Amino acid sequence: MELTHRQIFNLYVRQLPSGNRRSLACKYSRCSYPSAFRTEEEAVQHVTSAHLNQSWEGFVCLTCGVLMARKQDAVRHVKTMNAGKKYECAVW
């Protein structure tokens, strides 16, 4: 059974004290994600890909094999991996 966006948010995301720019955090048991989230969508995307494996469509670096759930993380990784190199890693 797949959970809805709202169910995931209600079960696994907690509000941090107001005044925080990043006001949402993962409350999944033993989650070691180091920072909070700015939007509900970011928080739900984290829980879905990191903890629930619902519709996981990730990105794999063909150079080093690291897995990334989000395209923006993959793009940043490729730029970092290939800084100053002649050939780029093909992520997708």
Domain residue extents for the chain: 5-52, 57-92
Looking at 24-84, list the stretches that DSSP marks H as alpha helix, in order from N- to C-terminal side. 40-47, 71-81
Tokens 């995301």 correspond to: 13
Phi, psi of 79 (to 5 degrees): -60, -40
How do residues 4-29 score in pLDDT, each as one tens digit? 878 878 877 888 776 666 688 888 77
Q: Which of 23, 35, 31, 71 is nearest to 47 (CA)?
A: 31
Residues in the chain with pLDDT < 70? 1, 18-22, 53-58, 65, 67, 69, 84-92
Give the predicted TM-score (pTM) of the model.
Answer: 0.50
